[in-house]
C-alpha cells in the first residue's frame, strides 16, 4: 500500500492510499475495505488517549487518564495477581494488522517473563494447518501468480472476490485463456456466481466430496502412477479407504448429485494443470482437519504438482522461517510451563477455568464479537472480579468491557513486518504519519509495561527497527531476507525460483519426505492415519434429535466490506453492507411464513439474534447465510451471529466450528428496537 502524505501545520497528514503497482501479486489494486483505510485511521471514534472505566462493564463509559496513571495501575494490578499465580493472567490476541513486530514480538516476551498462561491461537487456521502438516508436511503451495496459467481452478470453500481479490484477478486471466472455474460452496457467493460451475454441497461435508473424487480418479485410472510411486506414502491403504466413497453415497452425504462428483473428477484429470484454492470456509466444521487432508491428497494423486500452475494453495506461511527464539524469547519462561488457554473456548474458560482467569490483556482482537458462543463470552467479560486491559484503535464490543483501554497505532503510524500467507513476498510496513493523539505501538506499550514491572532484560529495550531486522532465520526461503531492502522497496520476494513449483520433484516436509496419504505420525498419536469423512457435530445424521428441533444450518462467512469485525464502524463500508441480513431459500422462507425484508429471529439452545430476511436462492435449501462479523452494538438488537455458534472444536487443530451450527428461524416478534 502506498500512502501519499502532505505537510499540514508541520504535521504529516495522509491524504491518499493506493496499491503499489510494482508489487507483483497485488499489481496496484487494494481490496474494497483497505481502500478506506484513511477513513478508518482518521475516524472520529479513534481512541486517542488512555481510558479508564467509569461505567458498568460493557457499558463503554470511560474517563481519560494519563499514560503514567494507566500503566502504573495496570502494572500494580498484574503484579498482585502474578504474586498469587501468574497463570491467572491471560493474553488474548490474534492478527490485528497481521504484523510480526506489533503482533507477538514484545508481547510474548512480556508474558513469558511474567509466566502468564500461553494462548493457543486457534481462531482461524489451525485445523487446516494440521491437515496440511499431516499430508504435505508444511504450509506451502501453488504460487498465486501462477494461477493465471491453470486450466481448471477449483475454489473450495472460498469467496475469493471478497477475501482474496488478488487471486481472483489471476483466475480472471486464466478464464480469459479458456480455463474452467468451479466453486464448491453451500452458498452462491459473489465468486460462485462468476464460476462456470457451482457445486452447492451441505456445510461440513467437503471431506466426503474429496474422497469421492479420489474414488472416481482411482476407479477410472486417472492417476499419475509414476508420481504416486516416487513421491507418496500409503497409496494402497488410501485406495481401499476411498473405495467406500462411491459417488452415490457421497451425493447423499453432500446433498448434491452423483453426476456432480463424477464430472468434478473428470475435469480434475482432463483439464491440466488444475489448481485448487482451498480455504477456510470448509474447515469450520467438526471434520475440517480431515477434509483438508483429503483435499490435499488430490494433487499428488493426479500428478498436478508437476506444474507450477497445478497443485493447491491453502497457505504459504510455512515458507517464512520465523526466528522464534529471537522474536519471542521463550527462555524468559525460565523452565516454567504455564497452562495453555484455547482462544476459541474463551467463553467457557472465563467462566470455569481452574485456576481462574483473573486478568485478560487483549490486543489485535475483538473476542466479544468474534469468538463463538458469545453469550458466555460476554458474561465472562462482565465478571466484576476480572481485570481487563484492551489495546485498541476503537471502542469495540470488547473494549466496552475493559478496565483500561490503551490507544494503539494503526499501520500508517508504526513500523512492522508482515508475514503474508497467500503470496511469496515479505512486506515492510513503514510509518507514513506520526501516531495520532497519544497512541503508541503495541510493542511500545508492552515495553513500557515491562519497565514498570521491573523487567530488565535487554530484549525489552530492543527497538522496532531492530526487531524487524531479525524476524526471519537466514535459512530456507528467507535466507535472503534483508530488512533494509524490504524497507526501501516495501517488499522482498522469498528466495524461490520464478516458476516456483513446490512439490514438482516431491520434497515434501513430512517425516517420510513424501505426500502422506497415510500418516504414521497420526497413527502414533492414536488418530486415524488415513483421511476420512468426519460428519458435522450438528447434522441430521450425527444428531437427528437436534436437527428435528433446529433444521437449518447457518454459516456466517466474511462480508466483502468488512475484515472480520474490523472496518464495521467505517460508515461508507457499513453503508455498503446495509444492515445485518439473513439469506434464506424461498422454500425455507415460505415454510416459515417469512417474506423478503421481514425481521427474523435466529435461535438455538445457545442463543438468538435478529436480522432482516433476504429471500433468495443464493442460499441453498436447508442452509441460511449471515454475512459477518457485525459489531454487536451496531446491530439493532445488540447481537451478532456468534450468539448461536458453538465452542465445539475441530477433529484436528483444536479450531472453532463456526459453520457447524443448527438453528431455527422465525419471524421476529414485533417490538420496538432495543
Ligand atoms: N473481505 C474480507 N476479506 C477477508 C476477511 C474478511 O473478513 N473480509 N477475512 C480474512 C480472514 S481472517 C480469513 S481466515 C480469510 C477467509 O477466507 P475464506 O475462507 O476464503 O473465506 P470466504 O472468502 O468467506 O469463503 C468462505 C466461503 O466458504 C463457504 N462455506 C461455508 N461453509 C462451507 C463448507 O462447509 N464447505 C465449503 N466448501 N464452503 C463453505 C462460505 O459460504 C463462503 O463463501 O479471508 C481473509 N480476507
Ligand atoms: N461467526 C463467525 N465468527 C468468526 C469468523 C467467521 O467467519 N464467522 N471468522 C473467524 C476468523 S477467520 C478470524 S481470523 C477471527 C478474527 O477475529 P479477530 O482477530 O478478533 O479480528 P478482528 O475482528 O478483525 O479484530 C481485530 C481487532 O484488532 C484491532 N487492531 C488492528 N490492528 C491493531 C494494532 O496494531 N494494535 C491493536 N492493539 N489493535 C489492532 C482492530 O481494531 C480490531 O478491532 O474471527 C473468527 N470469528
Ligand atoms: Mo481468519
The 10s digit of each residue's pLDDT in 233-266 is: 999 999 999 999 999 999 999 999 999 999 999 9
What is the rounded CA–CA span in Å between residue 233 and residue 518? Answer: 6
Question: How far, in Å, from the CA of 417 to the mean position of ligand 2?
Answer: 18
Question: To the nearest whole number, what is the mean pLDDT of the chain?
Answer: 97
pTM: predicted TM-score of the whole model, two decimal places: 0.97
- In this predicted structure, what is the pLDDT of residue 521? 97
**Beta bridge partner(s), residue 277:** 155, 313
Report which bound ligand comes closest to the CA of 94: 2
Q: Considering only 96-105, 451-460, 503-512, which range has the smallest mean pLDDT? A: 96-105
Q: How wide is the angle at C-alpha 518 spanned by C-alphas 517 and 519, nearest 5°?
A: 115
Spatial CA neighbour of 285 closest among 7, 607, 533: 533
Domain 2-123+321-493 has CATH 3.20.20.70: no
How many residues in total does the chain contain? 674
pLDDT-derived band at 673 (thresholds 50, 70, 90) equals low
Residue nearest to atom 39 of ligand 1 (CA): 157
Q: Is the CB of residue 631 below 6 angstroms from any atom belonging to ligand 2?
A: no
Give residues with Cβ within 8 angstroms of 409, minimum separation 6.
102, 431, 435, 436, 439, 440, 441, 442
Tell me the CB-side half-sphere exposure of residue 646, using CA atoms within 13 A. Answer: 20
Could you identify the atom of ligand 1 that is nearest to the CA of residue 164? 47
- In this predicted structure, what is the pLDDT of residue 670? 72
What is the rounded CA–CA span in Å between residue 102 and residue 653? Answer: 25
For the chain, the first-to-last Cα distance in angstroms comes to 40
What is the rounded CA–CA span in Å between residue 611 and residue 599? Answer: 6
Write the class of the CATH domain 544-667.
mainly beta
Average pLDDT over residues 406-417: 98
Q: Cβ distance 389 to 404 under 8 Å?
A: yes
Query: Residue 333 has which C-alpha cell?
Result: 519462561
What pLDDT digit, counting tens, does each position of 331-372 carry? Answer: 999 999 999 999 999 999 999 999 999 999 999 999 999 999
What is the rounded CA–CA span in Å between residue 499 and residue 404? Answer: 50
pLDDT-derived band at 24 (thresholds 50, 70, 90) equals very high
Q: Is the CB of residue 361 below 6 angstroms from any atom belonging to ligand 2?
A: no
Q: Is 188 exposed, middle or buried (0-12, 13-18, 19+ CB in 10 A)?
A: buried
- In this predicted structure, what is the pLDDT of residue 669? 85
What pLDDT digit, counting tens, does each position of 170-189 carry? Answer: 999 999 999 999 999 999 99
Residue nearest to atom 39 of ligand 2 (CA): 364
Report which bound ligand comes closest to the CA of 566: 2
Spatial CA neighbour of 183 closest among 166, 167, 165, 201: 201
310: left (phi over 0), alpha (psi -120 to 50) or beta: beta
What is the rounded CA–CA span in Å between residue 237 and residue 482? Answer: 46
Q: 3-state secondary structure string, 578-627?
A: CCCEEEECHHHHHHCCCCCCCEEEEEECCEEEEEEEEECCCECCCEEECC
What is the rounded CA–CA span in Å between residue 67 and residue 50? Answer: 6
Neighbours of 457 (CB within 10 A): 13
Q: Any idea of the CA torsion for 266, 269, 270, 275, to the nearest 10 degrees?
A: 110
What is the rounded CA–CA span in Å between residue 291 and residue 285? Answer: 9
Q: Cβ distance 93 to 107 under 8 Å?
A: yes
Residue 674 predicted with pLDDT over 80: no
Cell 498465486 locates to 144
Question: How far, in Å, from the CA of 591 to the mean position of ligand 3?
Answer: 34
pLDDT-derived band at 671 (thresholds 50, 70, 90) equals low
Spatial CA neighbour of 286 closest among 619, 543, 549: 543
- In this predicted structure, what is the pLDDT of residue 324? 96
Could you identify the atom of ligand 1 that is nearest to the CA of residue 558? 7
Average pLDDT over residues 380-406: 98
Residue 96 predicted with pLDDT over 90: no
pLDDT-derived band at 672 (thresholds 50, 70, 90) equals low
Q: Cβ distance 317 to 281 under 8 Å?
A: no
Question: How far, in Å, from the CA of 579 to the mean position of ligand 2?
Answer: 20
What residue segments make up the domains of the chain, in order of their start?
2-123+321-493, 142-314+503-524, 544-667
Q: Cβ distance 608 to 644 under 8 Å?
A: yes
What is the rounded CA–CA span in Å between residue 137 and residue 604? Answer: 39
What is the rounded CA–CA span in Å between residue 642 and residue 347? Answer: 11
Cell 481502500 locates to 35
Could you identify the atom of ligand 2 that is nearest to the CA of residue 363? 38
Question: How far, in Å, from the CA of 16 to the mean position of ligand 2?
Answer: 25
What is the rounded CA–CA span in Å between residue 367 and residue 81? Answer: 22
Question: How far, in Å, from the CA of 436 to the mean position of ligand 2?
Answer: 22
Q: Say which CATH superfamily domain 142-314+503-524 falls into.
A: Dimethylsulfoxide Reductase, domain 2 (3.40.228.10)
Q: How wide is the angle at C-alpha 581 spanned by C-alphas 29 and 57, nearest 5°?
A: 95
Give residues with Cβ within 8 angstroms of 549, minimum separation 6.
664
Q: Cβ distance 553 to 203 under 8 Å?
A: yes
Amino acid at each position: 500500500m502506498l500512502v501519499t502524505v502532505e505537510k499540514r501545520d508541520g504535521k504529516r497528514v495522509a491524504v491518499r492510499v493506493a496499491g503499489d503497482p510494482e508489487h507483483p501479486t497485488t499489481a496496484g489494486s487494494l481490496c474494497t475495505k483497505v481502500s478506506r483505510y484513511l477513513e478508518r485511521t482518521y475516524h472520529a471514534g479513534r481512541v486517542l488517549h488512555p481510558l479508564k472505566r467509569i461505567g458498568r462493564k460493557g457499558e463503554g463509559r470511560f474517563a481519560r487518564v494519563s499514560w503514567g496513571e494507566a500503566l502504573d495501575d495496570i502494572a500494580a494490578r498484574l503484579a498482585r495477581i502474578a504474586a498469587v499465580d501468574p497463570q491467572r493472567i491471560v493474553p488474548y490476541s490474534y492478527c490485528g494488522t497481521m504484523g510480526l513486530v506489533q503482533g507477538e514480538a514484545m508481547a510474548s516476551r512480556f508474558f513469558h517473563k511474567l509466566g502468564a498462561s500461553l494462548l493457543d491461537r486457534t481462531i482461524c487456521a489451525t485445523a487446516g494447518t494440521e491437515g496440511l502438516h499431516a499430508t504435505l508436511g508444511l504450509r506451502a503451495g501453488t504460487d498465486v501468480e501462477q494461477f493465471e496459467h491453470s486450466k481448471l481452478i477449483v475454489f473450495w470453500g472460498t469467496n475469493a472476490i471478497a477475501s482474496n481479490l488478488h487471486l481472483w484477478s489471476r483466475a480472471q486471466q486464466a478464464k480469459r485463456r479458456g480455463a474452467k472455474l468451479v466453486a464448491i460452496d453451500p452458498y452462491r457467493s459473489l465468486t460462485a456466481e462468476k464460476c462456470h460451475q457451482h457445486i452447492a454441497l451441505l456445510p461440513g461435508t467437503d471431506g466426503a466430496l474429496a474422497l469421492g473424487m479420489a474414488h472416481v480418479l482411482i476407479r477410472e485410472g486417472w492417476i499419475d502412477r509414476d508420481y504416486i510411486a516416487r513421491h507418496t506414502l500409503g497409496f494402497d491403504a488410501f485406495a481401499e479407504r476411498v473405495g467406500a466413497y462411491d459417488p452415490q453415497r457421497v451425493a447423499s452425504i453432500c446433498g448434491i448429485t452423483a453426476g456432480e462428483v463424477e464430472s468434478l473428477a473428470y475435469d480434475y484429470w482432463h483439464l491440466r494443470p488444475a489448481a485448487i484454492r482451498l480455504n477456510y470456509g470448509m474447515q469450520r466444521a467438526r471434520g475440517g482437519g480431515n477434509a483438508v487432508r483429503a483435499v490435499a491428497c488430490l494433487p499428488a494423486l493426479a500428478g498436478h504438482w508437476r506444474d507450477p500452475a497445478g497443485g493447491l494453495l491453502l497457505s504459504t506461511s510455512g515458507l517464512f522461517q520465523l526466528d522464534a527464539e529471537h522474536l519471542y524469547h521463550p527462555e524468559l519462561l525460565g523452565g516454567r510451563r504455564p497452562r495453555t488457554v484455547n482462544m476459541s473456548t474463551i467463553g467457557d474458560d472465563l467462566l470455569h477455568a481452574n485456576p481462574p482467569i483473573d486478568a485478560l490483556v487483549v490486543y489485535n482482537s475483538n473476542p466479544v464479537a468474534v469468538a463463538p458462543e458469545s453469550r458466555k463470552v460476554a458474561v465472562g467479560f462482565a465478571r466484576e472480579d476480572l481485570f481487563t486491559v484492551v489495546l485498541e484503535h476503537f471502542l469495540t464490543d470488547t473494549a466496552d468491557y475493559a478496565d483500561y483501554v490503551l490507544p494503539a497505532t494503526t499501520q500508517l503510524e508504526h513500523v512492522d513486518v508482515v508475514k503474508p500467507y497467500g503470496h511469496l513476498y515479505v512486506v515492510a510496513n513503514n510509518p507514513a504519519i506520526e501516531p495520532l493523539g497519544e497512541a503508541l505501538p503495541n510493542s511500545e506499550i508492552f515495553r513500557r509495561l515491562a519497565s514498570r514491572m521491573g523487567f530488565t532484560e535487554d530484549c525489552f529495550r530492543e527497538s522496532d527497527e531492530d526487531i524487524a531486522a531479525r524476524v526471519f532465520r537466514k535459512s530456507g526461503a528467507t535466507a535472503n531476507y534483508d530488512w533494509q531492502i524490504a524497507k526501501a522497496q516495501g517488499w522482498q520476494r522469498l528466495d524461490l525460483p520464478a516458476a516456483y513449483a513446490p512439490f514438482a520433484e516431491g520434497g515434501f516436509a513430512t517425516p517420510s519426505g513424501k505426500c502422506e496419504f497415510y500418516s504414521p505420525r497420526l497413527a502414533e498419536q492414536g488418530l486415524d492415519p488415513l483421511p476420512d469423512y468426519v460428519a458435522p457435530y450438528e447434522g441430521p445424521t450425527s444428531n437427528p434429535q437436534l436437527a428435528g428441533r433446529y433444521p437449518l444450518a447457518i454459516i456466517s462467512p466474511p462480508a466483502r466490506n468488512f475484515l472480520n469485525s474490523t472496518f464495521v464502524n467505517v460508515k461508507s463500508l457499513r453503508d455498503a453492507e446495509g444492515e445485518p441480513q439473513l439469506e434464506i431459500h424461498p422454500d425455507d422462507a415460505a415454510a416459515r411464513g417469512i417474506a423478503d425484508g421481514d425481521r427474523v429471529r435466529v435461535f438455538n439452545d445457545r442463543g438468538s439474534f435478529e436480522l432482516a430476511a433476504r429471500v433468495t436462492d443464493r442460499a441453498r435449501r436447508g442452509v441460511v447465510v449471515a454475512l459477518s462479523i457485525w459489531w454487536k452494538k451496531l446491530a439493532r438488537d445488540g447481537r451478532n451471529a456468534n450468539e448461536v455458534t458453538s465452542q465445539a472444536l475441530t477433529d484436528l487443530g483444536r479450531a472453532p466450528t463456526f459453520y457447524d451450527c443448527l438453528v431455527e428461524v422465525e419471524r421476529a416478534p414485533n417490538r420496538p428496537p432495543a
